[in-house]
Amino acid sequence: LQEDMNKTGNRVYVHIKYNQKFPVEEKCETKSCEMDIEPVQTTKPTKLAIGVDGGFMSDISNYEVEKEYKIVVAMTDANDLFSIAFEYKSKSKDFESTISCGANELPEYILTIIKAILDSVGMRNSLQVSIWNADNEKIVSKYAANLKQVNPTNKRIPQDPKQWRDEETGSTENLWLNLSTGYIGGGRKQYDGTGGSGSALNHFKYHLSTTGDMYPLVVKLGTITPHGADVWSY
């Protein structure tokens, strides 16, 4: 908050807090009751997604959500805050919404701004998401337009996938090709110990720290098709 205040000069914010409230478990004694129990994820996710095959299960229906809304005014800094709680209600079908502040009265134009923020399609979608797939997020990297490509040794990438190797470890799994240097390295290590060697990221960091050159774009080998590929920017 302090960083945004220093950068923009803003002093008034809408604070939205969601609390997950899990229902009290009831003893299930009938077969129909067993059929109503939400399934538990037993398979390991294989993609960065929510609510789709291969991704994380969405537990949005397993709990109730208590929502708190506040107008927060930063008096001097992020440690000196004055807040006014308000209620926000909406109907999803035609999206009628109301805002009430109880005994705390706010200027009409402030209420109008708050309502516009909370009623926006983007805000509603982000707060009610139950299905999301990272593969559907198409973002254009700012480094793609003027991509640097260096190849002093006239290196060529083999067309035969069996010849692809991590240039640091020799591994043949989870390989990423740097689109600037042609270096083939391993993907990043995951929190559970799986993943690659991390040499692709190390290669990027090496050039950045030694020469200051930015070679951030890598493509995952094996994903390149006429329709696209998995490209990552460091």
Q: Which residues contact 80 (CB under 8 A, 6 or more apart)?
A: 74
In this predicted model, what pLDDT tens digit does every residue of 87-145 receive, in sequence order?
666 544 444 455 665 545 667 777 777 777 776 655 555 555 555 665 666 778 888 88
CA distances from 40 to 12, 17, 142, 176 (A): 42, 26, 40, 33
171 token code pair: 């591994």
Q: Tell me how far the alpha carbon of residue 149 is from its chain's centroid.
A: 29
Taking every pair of C-alpha atoms in the chain, what is the biggest distance, in angstroms? 74
Average pLDDT, the chain: 75
Higher pLDDT pick, 83 / 147: 147
Give the integer Cα–Cα distance in Å for 31 and 212.
65
In eight-state DSSP terms, residue 174 is S
Higher pLDDT pick, 202 / 37: 202
Q: Kindly report whether the global pTM for this prediction surpasses the value 0.75.
A: no
User: Helix, strand or coil for residue 107?
Assistant: coil
Asked if pLDDT for residue 73 goes beyond 60, the answer is yes
